[in-house]
Every structure is written in structure tokens, then in C-alpha cells.
Structure 1
Amino acid sequence: MPISRTRLYLTLTVIALVVAVLAGIRLTRGGTEPDESGLAQPIVSAAAPTSATPSATVPPAAEPPADLPVIAYAKGPRGLPADPDPTSVVPITEALRPAERKALYDAPGGHPRAYLPPRISGLAVVVPIVARQNGWAAVLTPSSNRTIGWLPETGWSPEPVRDQIIVSLGKRRMTWLREGAEQDRWTVAIGTDKTPTPHGRTFVLGRTGTSGAVYAGLDALVLGSVPEEPEKLAPSLRAAHTGIHAWTNTSAFGRDVSNGCVRTPAAGMRTLLAQVDPGTPVVVTA
């Protein structure tokens, strides 16, 4: 039986409406459609809501007390936490150079424990940044082995760190790296069992002069670490820091013979003095 034009028109109209409705449902729910390449691409509804991750709240910094101690060459801070990863050799890329004294806290938003001064015994202070959390930064502390201090990330800007020194006690070897790539290495002398070279992360605090031909007439690099048991040292060395310095007696290299310092060939010392800056991380591993 032939279909009338009116019925055919109504049928086609209904089909068109159904297709349009289905297409609308498909688009609002999100789906895929082919682009010119024939690959399916996601379709996102213009009305789809977006979600943003809320920013972490920055814990406030308590006002330091008037009598807060200041870190000195022979007087390290008390009450600061241990370095959570003291033997990590992951390159540290930033450091803090305080223009004025900064209070160090025992945790983000915690208690102030000591002031980090801009200079210690005439040496400009540059301390590696080892962690960040909720608007706070953790730095390695001088005159205290394997400790960190926290401070708010306000009122200062980090500066880049490019070098790293790794001292392997077991191999009696010191390696200099720049941006993670080895530049040179030397067989060195390290501390004895009685006066060991402090292990863990520290940094180059600065340089100082030496006296005596055995040092090859070269400055030494003063580190932020101090003797583990100063009472076992001669009185003149008990308030000293650990250092890296030249040694002309080559029979010492590869042995445990120093008072805790790292003795290196004169050529290696010249390289370090010419290349590394204060704030350079030094990691002493087993």
C-alpha cells in the first residue's frame, strides 16, 4: 500500500528529531568523534565543571625570642632536627645566602631554635636547601653535623648550586661533580678510627689560609661539619671545623691518618679552590 506524502513527511521528521536528541545526549555526556585523521578524539562539554587543587596553608612563623642564640663557628645550634637523608647523593641545586640573620625553626611553623647569621668568623654563609614544605625551606646547618633548620620562604631568594663533592670513606676517594656529571676524582687520606671524618651531608663554608710546607702553600676549604668527638683531639683542634686541604706527603693517600680532615693531592686542591664556591654540598659516605 503506497505511503502518503503527509505520512512520509511526518515519519522523516520524527526520525530527524530522534537523531538530534541522541546526538545531544552523546555530546553532553562526553564521548569521542573522529577528526580528520580518523582517530577518535575526546569531546568535552563546554558546560563541564573544572576542579582546582586547593593550595596548602603556609604555617605561620612564631616570633623569635630576644635571647635566641646565634650560630657561631664553635657554637652550633641546639634543638634542630636531624637531617632526614644524611647520605643522599642526589644533587642539591639551590642554596640560601642570608642578607641578615634568619631564625631557624625545628619544623614548618615550629619553634625557633637559633639564628643563622650572614657571616661566621668572617666567612659569608651560604647553606644548601635540602627540602621544601608548605612555604618553608629546610637548610643544612653549620657547626652541627647532620642537622637541618626550617625557615619561611619569604624575604629571600635562592641562588643556584652547580657543584657537589662526594667523599667515599671506604674507597678513600673524593669526587667532584658539576650538574651531576663527574669532573675529576682523587685518592685521599681520611680520619682515623679515633678521629673520624664526619659522615653525612655538609657543605663548603668557605676557605682559610694554612701554615706549613706540608699544605703546599694552598688555602683549605672549611666545611660546615665539626669533629664528632672533639675531646679526643689536641686542644688546639677541638674548636676547629673539618676541612679539605692539600697534603704533600703522598704516602698518606689511601689511608686513615688524619684528624678528621680530608687530605688531597695539591693538584686536586688547586682545582677545587679554582672551581667550587661556598655553599657547595659535600657528602661523606661509608
Structure 2
Amino acid sequence: MLVLTGVMWFSSTSTTGAPQAAPGEPAETTEDVALAGLPESTTHDTIEAAPTDTARQQTTDGTVVHPPEMTPIFDAPDGTPIAKIGPEQLGDTWLPVIATRDGWSQVLLPSKPNGSTGWVLNADVVRDSTPYLIRVHLGARTIELVRDGQSLGEWPIGIGKNETPTPAGRTFLLGSFTDPDQEFSPVILPLGAHSDTLDSFGGGPGTVAIHTWPTSSVFGTRSSHGCIQVPEDALNHLTEVPLGTLVLVDQH
């Protein structure tokens, strides 16, 4: 399980190319929304009013969005504001789009509970796209990296123990950071998912992450507190993947 204390946070630059404005958007804004009273959606927070993702194994077209400033999140298009989200999390904030409607985008959120979503106005965010998809197969205990529909590689992994299982569902690559206080992984890749059994771990909020491990004996086993332990070669490939990339965790 990821510990989010005593680490070096840095802003990771998207590698998906120059951001593009969404074409044909209605000239709506959310400037009048009072942000001060809204809870912030981060990996440390819970947004109880967030709609639940109802298609938790469905792929997307790769569209991701970035809020360039603190931005309101709604429970539906033209709905009620339920939270706000800022331009940085563990790196720049990039959220995968799972649905669109009339100038609005439904995105996955980094906050608890797992499967939390919200709607943002397209005029409030920068749009981009990622050609990548990360698939985690808990049954086979493998991780697969896909680009433009083609597999780039598949590696054995360590997953959560029975009492601290790795949560299945649709999540995303939330950030990338180094932590000089640990030696088990040169880079840690937190996801927008949390342990279903641990409210906190090591001072952090129970965020699930992808990272390496010093011994290969963990691969193919239930060995973690919920994190996904990968070989060094897999991590080298995954660190090239842009933030916001969809991660599908299934039981296959």
C-alpha cells in the first residue's frame, strides 16, 4: 500500500502532445459557482455525493482532461456542485473521460469511495488524449500495457493478500513520484483507487499504487497490502505512460 508521507512530490508533464480545446463547445461557464464551501477531490478525501461508475470494466476512447485551475465538479450536467478539483495531485491532474453530454464530461475522480465520478464543464478544462491502456488481471496475476489496441508487453505481478485485496474496477494513473525514504521502487505510480479494507496505511489514505519490489518471489502471489508489485522492466515501460491513462483491474 502506498505511503504518501515523507515523499518528494513533483509535477509530471503529460506526454500526450499539445493540449487541444474541445470543438463546438457551448459558451457556458461555471464562474458563479462558490468553490470555497466545496470539498476538494484528492486521494486523501471522500466525496460521498459523487455518482458511482456503473461500467467499471469498460474502455474509453482515451480522452483525458486537465483542470488548469480549481474547478467545480457536478453530480450531473447542469446539476449540483459536489466538489472541486485542482490542477495538481501527485503531478498534474489528468482525469479520464468516461462519458460526454451536451458540453459536459463525466470523469473518474481520485477521491474515495472507489468508482467515484463527477461531471465537469468542457469549457473549464483542457482536453488531450492518451493511446495507452493498462490492464491488471488479478486472477492471472499479470499486468498488460496496451497502446492503440496492441499489447506492448505483459508481466507477472504481486497483488493484495486475501485480507487486503487489490480492488477491481476502473481507475487511472493518478501520479508519479520518487520517495528518497524507501528503497523498494525507484518510482511509485499511485492510482485513483484505494484499499477497500484499509482506511489508512503508513500515514497515507490507503491509495493503491504500482511499484517494483526488491525480490522476484512476490510475482504471481498475493503479497501486498493492495498495491500492484511489478518487475523493473514493467515499471520502466509504465513510467512512460501519461497521467490520466485508464487502468482496468479485473478478476480474470
Aligning the two structures, in what range does the TM-score lie when normalised by the shorter sequence?
A: 0.7 to 0.9
Partner of 1:248 in structure 2? 214
Is 2:245 aligned against 1:280? Answer: yes
Q: Among all aligned residue pairs of Structure 1 and Structure 2, give the percentage whose two residues are the same amino acid.
A: 29
State the Cα deviation string for residues 208-248 of structure 1 (Å, max 9, x = none).
22444443xx21111111121224x6x51552411000112
TM-score by length of 1: 0.72
Give the secondary structure class of the aligned counterpart of 2:217: helix
**Conserved in 2, the CA contact under 8 Å of 1:62 and 1:111?**
no
2:101 and 2:49 mapped to 1: Cα distance? Answer: 19
Partner of 2:166 in structure 1? 197
1:137 and 1:108 mapped to 2: Cα distance? Answer: 8
Partner of 2:46 in structure 1? 76
Residues 35-114 of structure 1: matches in 2 within 5 Å?
63-65=32-34, 66-88=36-58, 90-114=59-83
What is the deviation of 1:192? 1.2
Partner of 2:107 in structure 1? 139
Moved more, 236-245 or 263-272: 236-245
**Conserved in 1, the CA contact under 8 Å of 2:38 and 2:82?**
yes
What is the deviation of 1:205? 1.0
Partner of 1:33 in structure 2? none
What is the deviation of 1:143? 2.2
**Conserved in 1, the CA contact under 8 Å of 2:178 and 2:188?**
yes
Choose from 211, 221, 228 the match for 2:196. Answer: 228
Give the secondary structure class of the aligned counterpart of 1:100: coil
Q: Which runs of 5+ in 2 are unaligned?
A: 1-25
What is the deviation of 1:188? 0.5
Instruction: Identify, as 1 or 2, the structure richer in helix.
Output: 1
What is the deviation of 1:95? 0.4
TM-score by length of 2: 0.81
Larger Rg belongs to: 1
State the Cα deviation string for residues 135-181 of structure 1 (Å, max 9, x = none).
21100001221111012221433101111100011110100001111
1:72 and 1:97 mapped to 2: Cα distance? Answer: 14
Is 2:182 aligned against 1:208? Answer: no
What is the deviation of 1:64? 3.0
1:161 and 1:214 mapped to 2: Cα distance? Answer: 28
What is the deviation of 1:93? 1.5
